[in-house]
Structure 1
């Protein structure tokens, strides 16, 4: 499946090499962007810039060198209280994963996928193969509201737009990169990725217009989220719930694994709902949550 991403690179590399990148007002992490210390890092920097330019993406934050503790601390600090759409990009193959994170969950999604390997198994296997230093964590867009059960669908719709527009191969393919067990529609989507049309580029460009937030606005969004009233559980209460809970695997309706979580508590936090909602869903015959996910207990080995 990496050949698909390589085709992407071959196409945009020709068109973007001589192109002048437009400046934008997005706010990048000062600790993580594009070090020019070595020729290798310089080439990787240009590859990322060309990739984003070709895709018409204007991210809010770009975190390179995520293998460094200082960068990981900055991710936790700078994304605290925020929500939005993120991308995990492999600098070597230009394969990528796209996901959404509800309020104050961006860092959690980062660590689940790239540090603790509780998220996408495809990302996990790729990190083990290429090394964490070959990945970039990118915040594509911030969601301007505090995410709750009422507006959660708006965030999912935004994520769905990016998924359908960018067709990320890490989201689509199976663990082994095989098409076995997948319907023809998924294979068609993968093939479509090699032909990233101008129409789709313009859709992404249109989506980005008028969505550049100033540092003051981002800080206001963060503080608003941090000051909201949350349901508080005691540490002992959370510990007791975790002890009684089994690991849960969450899949999308097309049977693609969204993530694995150690308990009902962790699952509820990741999916931005209550533990009771998770428990009720697991008792239903379909085990479908919010018309989007299928929940099941992880089979004991």
Structure 2
């Protein structure tokens, strides 16, 4: 259980791997990254107030088969204000705004593109100033009526293609 020393607001959570949980929670960069995916009140509070404004208490050690049951027991008993969800192991009660859903969708698409090695390519026409973004090097090549090897060569050499097009890879 985490407890804010000034407001006495609490958070109840559980972990199968306590070391990993501590490592994640004690990393401001991890919390900031996770905030892009989830509107997590405890992450915001930790980043806003700092770790020294919170007390941490391990309420109970238990086997992994009963972890959610025990977490639910403490959620029901303590009624923690930093918990968004009132059901252990569930996202019930979590409100996801349209903006958050759009961010999640964009992050998911980028993650999938990166997993398969696809890189977006930004193409700037220096004559007109127009900028187009293509979802892959191959898509860029098709649009410019060339092949992917040529596009890759100009990206790597950072030269203008046809003395007109500037390529920039977006990862």
TM-score, scaled relative to structure 1: 0.27
